[in-house]
Amino acid sequence: MLGNFTYCNPTKLYFGKDALDGLSKELPKYGKNILLVYGGGSIKKNGIYDKVIKILKANGKEIFEDGGVMPNPTIEKVHEGVARAKAAKADFILAVGGGSVCDYAKALSVSIHCKGDIWKKYFIDFEEPTCELVPVGCVLTMVGTGSEMNGGSVITNHAEKLKIGHVFGEEVYPKFSILNPEFTYTLPKYQMVAGIFDIMSHILEQYFSGTDDNTSDYVAEGLLRSLIHSAEIAVVDPNNYDARSNIMWTATWALNTLIAKGKTTDWMVHMLGQAVGAHTDATHGMTLSAVSIPYYRYILPYGLDKFVRYAVNVWGVNPAGKTDEETANAGLDAMQAWMEKTGLVMNISELGATEETIEGIAKSTLVMDGGYKVLDAKEIKSILKASL
Ligand code: NZQ
Ligand code: ZN
């Protein structure tokens, strides 16, 4: 394990078919005024909204609603939510939805009592909050981002063509998250598989870094194998509880900082994907699937040993009689075939990117230096072109 680190994850989880019962256990700890944050209306159609309202009322809470949080929440919406939260004198923010709703709730948490330009402070200058925070709790309805147990908040600024994530500290993590796998059954298949790939990508972003012998890599391989197995079941049988519950739990552990311990971590697939997202507003997981194979084929020679290990331990490639390059590429072939079978978007053209937008997307791509290759502008453009 590399370096010195601390590990603390303060989010309490309630998991399973009865998880929502946990809400009544948590609500008494917070004040009366609840800002109920949700998305475009799926929770009203599938009945989760009614269940939550009933519990809030039974606990004597005053409910102030802030619906209409869009996928890839915008800074304008955050400003609107801050005004609502102030008017409501919100004591607590309850996010009911997917990663977008949870991320948005965290953005409100750090912004309600903050003076000044919150976009610049948190998403350009990456400053930490110094103001009073409004605590957040989540009822998760879409699986993938890990936002239910981390400090991440990804906000889009269309005017500046930027989509930027700030990973806040423990004080911004949700105080609790309610994870009922059955709440995810109504997700359209497109969203379910996008979430599945988001999970895979989170694990790979941490796995493809470093050359030391590291427990985090063994945990990552186990999570990947469980994900691949359960995803194969869920795409043909979406109401399979075993599969959906395993996917939900894997998503949480994929990005709650555990498997990043002792790792430098890469995150270049996310930087490329977020840049594509800033220009197309496409579904997050699909922006990642569309750039992953070209990216990994390109960096493979720089991290060859790890790609060989990935092929053998995750995809079951038999290395006998093969060169290391052949084994590593066979691993990526297996991943690509699995992605196609799962129904993932395999190129950015399908998401609305064109030859003409490559220059702009490349400009919006932040460069990270924790992986096997630090990319220059020319390499970014060529990976994006190979993803068209
Ligand atoms: O808005 P509603 O009507 O609720 O519909 C949503 C939305 O259209 C729908 N949905 C959610 N639960 C549903 C459902 N439809 C039917 N039944 C249900 N049970 O699904 C659509 C997508 O929801 P969204 O929350 O946008 O998806 P996701 O969870 O993938 O979140 C994506 C956002 O999270 C950010 C992404 O960049 C993106 O902005 N990320 C956050 C991270 C973090 N906090 O650590 C890390 C990730 O890498 C990611 O960047
Ligand atoms: Zn992601």
Query: Can you give the pLDDT at residue 3?
Result: 83
Q: Counting Cβ atoms within 10 Å, is residue 104 exposed (0-12), middle (13-18) or buried (19+)?
A: buried
Helical residues (DSSP H) of the chain, grouped into ranges: 21-26, 42-45, 48-58, 75-88, 99-111, 118, 189-207, 215-236, 241-254, 268-280, 284-299, 304-313, 324-342, 358-363, 377-386
Helix, strand, coil percentages in the chain from 3-state DSSP, rounded to 5: 55, 10, 35
pTM of the full predicted structure?
0.97
Picking from 293, 268, 274, the residue whose alpha carbon sits closest to that of residue 351 is 274
pLDDT digits (tens, 9 = 90+) for 126-138: 999 999 999 999 9
Residues around ion ligand 2, judged by CB within 5 A, are: 198
Residue 146 backbone class (left: φ over 0; alpha: ψ -120 to 50; beta: rest): left
Confidence class for position 6, pLDDT limits 50, 70, 90: very high
Answer whether 182 contacts ligand 1 (Cβ < 6 A): no
Per-residue pLDDT, averaged over 43-52, amounts to 98
SS3 category, 360: helix
Q: Counting Cβ atoms within 10 Å, is residue 80 exposed (0-12), middle (13-18) or buried (19+)?
A: middle
Return mean pLDDT, the chain.
97
Most informative mutation of 42, 74, 172, 267 for ligand 1 (most atoms within 8 A of CB): 42
Query: Can you give the pLDDT at residue 112?
Result: 98
What's the CA gap between 203 and 192, in Å, rounded?
17
Residue 2 scores a pLDDT above 90: no
Query: Can you give the pLDDT at residue 210?
Result: 96
Query: Can you give the pLDDT at residue 1?
Result: 77
Per-residue pLDDT, averaged over 357-374, amounts to 97
Instruction: Copy the structure tokens of residue 246.
Output: 């395993």
What's the CA gap between 263 and 242, in Å, rounded?
30
CA of 61 to the centre of ligand 2 (A): 33
Picking from 187, 295, 298, 161, the residue whose alpha carbon sits closest to that of residue 239 is 187
Ligand 1 atom closest to the Cα of residue 255 is: 45
Instruction: Copy the structure tokens of residue 248.
Output: 């939900």
Query: Can you give the pLDDT at residue 27?
Result: 98
Q: What percent of the chain has pLDDT over 70?
A: 100
Q: What is the Rg, in whole angstroms, of the alpha carbon atoms belonging to the chain?
A: 20
Per-residue pLDDT, averaged over 198-211, amounts to 98
* DSSP label at residue 121: I
Ligand 1 atom closest to the Cα of residue 183 is: 19
Answer whether 357 contacts ligand 1 (Cβ < 6 A): no
What's the CA gap between 304 and 302, in Å, rounded?
6
Per-residue pLDDT, averaged over 221-238, amounts to 98
Picking from 76, 355, 75, 44, the residue whose alpha carbon sits closest to that of residue 65 is 44
CA of 270 to the centre of ligand 2 (A): 6
pLDDT digits (tens, 9 = 90+) for 267-282: 999 999 999 999 999 9
pLDDT digits (tens, 9 = 90+) for 329-342: 999 999 999 999 99
pLDDT digits (tens, 9 = 90+) for 300-325: 999 999 999 999 999 999 999 999 99
CA of 101 to the centre of ligand 2 (A): 14
Nearest-CA residue for ligand 1 atom 18 is 187
Counting ligands in written order, the one closest to the CA of 194 is: 1
What's the CA gap between 291 and 302, in Å, rounded?
18
